[in-house]
Structure 1
């Protein structure tokens, strides 16, 4: 191989192979440092500050899981990134630029990296293939993703673009059996795109008509159609932050042996809730921000392949109240593990306040609401707590 990868492990057998692309710098778009061409389609595309940070955050998380280990060894990460001019870069990004472990994601380099990634992925049918893209995108018939040299030619600007749908379909017709696609890119409405081009935009690989898929376990995460990908300036994007949180344990459940695991199915089931909770926290920091009701498109199929196993129970949010709600302020609330561990039960005395928010390790809990006088009778509940969040209403009677 003619270039160093961001990560490569010399291990035999099946493993995880990732291709991670973050396109923030577009030299030929407004604000770029290359030769400018007019934007004939008036899509309003400019420079982006989030994609390189988002791609690096994804790569860092894959390289060193802080709370567990991958179900298979991490065998390779190829990281492609571009940066907008005058972007404040972290020291690590500067180092990666200087030592050659990241390449500029022009369309030709993306095609080369994709071919090399596919070659690594197909060498064992039990590998896990992960494809991640963060950068500009347009939506017409297909979701069109833009490489860093998009617009290099005013005559054929879309030479620097590729179709995600065709790329994914071609991948599914090949091994490995488990494939993951995370597309953190705008799907800005471009209704005239197909008519303007006259011919379709190619994928990074060509699917074969009529060929059955070899992929049996699939997870695809995308921004909803005609929506914008969101982030604060020079921060990791909201969607990538949610994916990282999911992999770190916020999408965990227990398997048949009681071990905490993250699977394709649990990510699909929980990612939207994780993303919405993250957005609520951001709104507390940045009042006035508004978010759409639908935040992520999910496609999952297969047998719920395990991606990672956690060393201990992940933390989860639990919000406790009474049913009816009017009894909550008068209740002495208590929460304890079952079976009882050495630590004391958590308690919240009646104080006239409402819901009781808790941050607890996942597992079995017993909760109670007791009263000193008044019309309410004691209520109890037992639950198994999983991340990311559960709201519990303890039923109390009169």
Structure 2
């Protein structure tokens, strides 16, 4: 049961078990080191996905401790130049196995077995790599996708099957994060009912679990669209996801306790990913399937609010120099840039100023009370 683990803790009672898969090295896709598959579909090598997986695994080890204590983190990485995983709390440098289809299947089976310890266990799956789709079906590509000339999909996982079959796992709370494209693929359309390895066989005669499963699924992209990586850095989705989990996807709806929940996390993902649109030249839009309310993470205290400062009209933002003041004391400043200005601030009252060195718009300021988790401050400027 210890294969592929990069973190394990002794927990007295139910625990959270995290499986992280990051695939960037694809020998049989364009630019790969092996024979190129006829089913490559224009896909090539990825450098953002392994970094996304490393970032998520490190965050889970360091931060994912409530409301269910962390029991284990499993990590698989496929990189063109493999390197150890740096454990964020011990500093240990750990060798990581590649994300081949066999290893992914084994890791998923071990992950499910941990969830079968009891209904109170919690399971978290994070995948970053290539994804291909046909309608509602989604297939996640392991490192060796295309290795078999006449069965390219043997190197891939049928994600829909995994989520559906996991309803028979005893763990009643399951979280899925998919940082992959969901663009249509001829490889799937031409494969009939073959959507990759099913991993788990569903038993339609098995008795239903006594408790309803809560299993929200978060996607980096809408059906039929692409996800966005940043070469050598965690992706747009992963960076927004970690920020949301850290507190920007929280609310204090339940008795004043700040909690990250699926609906608020999805709101945060949409807002935070949209901030990347000026650099990307298009709007990245995440998607989610919510199956019941889950407290994804409980916070010990109220988070800072992320204040998003921009001009109205938005085209003025690129020419603006912004400043933030609290009781006439300057707290932060930023010069002209394409995107809106994001300022983490504790709850309180602040004054925001926009100035234009080129004279294109008049100076404008506004005083507002800032509160967590996310707040937009528009400065309505005039030529």
1:151-204 per-residue CA deviation (whole Å, 9 max, x = no partner) reads 111121111112111111111332322111111111222146233456453422
**Distance across 1 between alignment mates of 2:301 and 2:98:** 36
Instruction: Choose from 281, 289, 305 the match for 1:290.
Output: 281
**Distance across 1 between alignment mates of 2:230 and 2:236:** 8
**Distance across 2 between alignment mates of 1:132 and 1:215:** 22
The corresponding residue for 2:130 is: 136
In 2, are the aligned partners of 1:251 and 1:262 still within 8 Å (CA)?
Answer: yes
Instruction: State the shift of 1:61 in Å.
Output: 0.6
Query: Compared with structure 1, are the counterparts of its residues 227 and 308 closer, same or farther at alpha carbon in structure 2 (3 Å cutoff)?
Result: same
Alignment of 1:1-398 (within 5 A): 1=1, 3=3, 5-34=5-34, 36=35, 38-65=36-63, 69-84=65-80, 87=81, 92=86, 101-141=95-135, 142-191=137-186, 193-197=188-192, 199-209=194-204, 215-222=212-219, 223-280=221-278, 283=279, 289-291=280-282, 293=283, 295-317=285-307, 319=309, 344=327, 359=343, 361-363=345-347, 365=349, 385-391=371-377
**Distance across 1 between alignment mates of 2:57 and 2:157:** 22
Please list every run of 5 or more consecutive structure 2 residues that lacks an aligned counterpart in the other structure. 313-322, 332-339, 354-365
SS at the partner of 1:138? strand
Query: Compared with structure 1, are the counterparts of its residues 172 and 79 closer, same or farther at alpha carbon in structure 2 (3 Å cutoff)?
Result: same
TM (normalized to structure 1)?
Answer: 0.75
The corresponding residue for 1:376 is: none
Instruction: State the shift of 1:108 in Å.
Output: 1.1
Query: Compared with structure 1, are the counterparts of its residues 51 and 383 closer, same or farther at alpha carbon in structure 2 (3 Å cutoff)?
Result: same
Query: Compared with structure 1, are the counterparts of its residues 312 and 156 closer, same or farther at alpha carbon in structure 2 (3 Å cutoff)?
Result: same
**Distance across 2 between alignment mates of 1:318 and 1:295:** 18
1:123-159 per-residue CA deviation (whole Å, 9 max, x = no partner) reads 1312221111111111114111111111111121111
**Distance across 2 between alignment mates of 1:122 and 1:27:** 35
Structure 1 residues 115-124 or 195-204, which shifts more?
195-204
Query: Compared with structure 1, are the counterparts of its residues 131 and 359 closer, same or farther at alpha carbon in structure 2 (3 Å cutoff)?
Result: same
SS at the partner of 1:102? coil
How many aligned residue pairs are there?
344
In 2, are the aligned partners of 1:251 and 1:267 still within 8 Å (CA)?
Answer: yes
SS at the partner of 2:203? coil
TM (normalized to structure 2)?
Answer: 0.77
Higher radius of gyration, 1 or 2: 1
